[in-house]
Structure 1
């Protein structure tokens, strides 16, 4: 990120999440995207508590809300069990600090020229 790129807004999620809480958080997501003009919102999921289907439902609804606004979500501090549940549900989430799924991680690639001796 350079000086011209604004930081993504952060939505802090704390559990346990109720149905009314899901509605409120979806409204918060829409507001953050509109106010910041952001293409991505970071969802801090460290405070959600034990991973379960309620957390999966919440994140699925937040992802749908973001996508409807033409944006995406990155997760901050997810529990490995939550990531497993999201993967089993088929929900594609980026985790903060990891390369995007569409982009391979940066690596050094060595080219071999014809006639070079084997290493």
Structure 2
């Protein structure tokens, strides 16, 4: 993010409840309305014990940002949240702006052999 560009930041509380989610979305909506060129960001540093409520909040905040024509950035993603995002197929959200979004050396690509088995590998496994 350009240091001169403002950010519309919401902070996930600890603990986070489902009742917090609409308020967080309203905060982000108001911040983006007040500063339409701001980069939407979510400080998730307090989410040290994330659960599906955390995922729901991030998914809904992402929709708010997309509706404003922007991409939500995460700040301070703890390893537990990064692992949960990967587990539910939202690992790309863990890429952070201005911080190490992925573990060192992790370029986001699957390691060799991590994909679906090929017909040849299935044959060799059964022979």
TM-score, reference length from structure 2:
0.67
Q: Choose between structure 1 and 2: higher helix proportion.
A: 2
Aligned pairs, how many? 99
Q: Choose between structure 1 and 2: higher strand proportion.
A: 1
Q: Deviations over 1:19-70 (max 9, x none)?
A: 2210000111111111111352121111234122111111111111111221
Partner residue in 1 for 2:112: none
Partner residue in 2 for 1:96: 97
CA 48–38 in structure 1, closer or farther in 2 if over 3 Å, else same: farther
In structure 2, C-alpha distance between the alignment counterparts of 1:31 and 1:10, rounded to whole Å: 11
Asked whether the 8 Å contact 1:51–1:79 carries over to 2, the reply is no
Whether 1:26 aligns to 2:31 is no
- Structure 2 unaligned residues grouped into runs of 5+: 102-106, 108-127
- Structure 1 unaligned residues grouped into runs of 5+: 106-119
Report how far residue 9 of structure 1 moved.
2.2
Partner residue in 2 for 1:14: 13
Runs ≥4 residues deviating over 6 A: none
SS in 2 for 1:19: coil
CA RMSD of aligned residues (A): 2.3
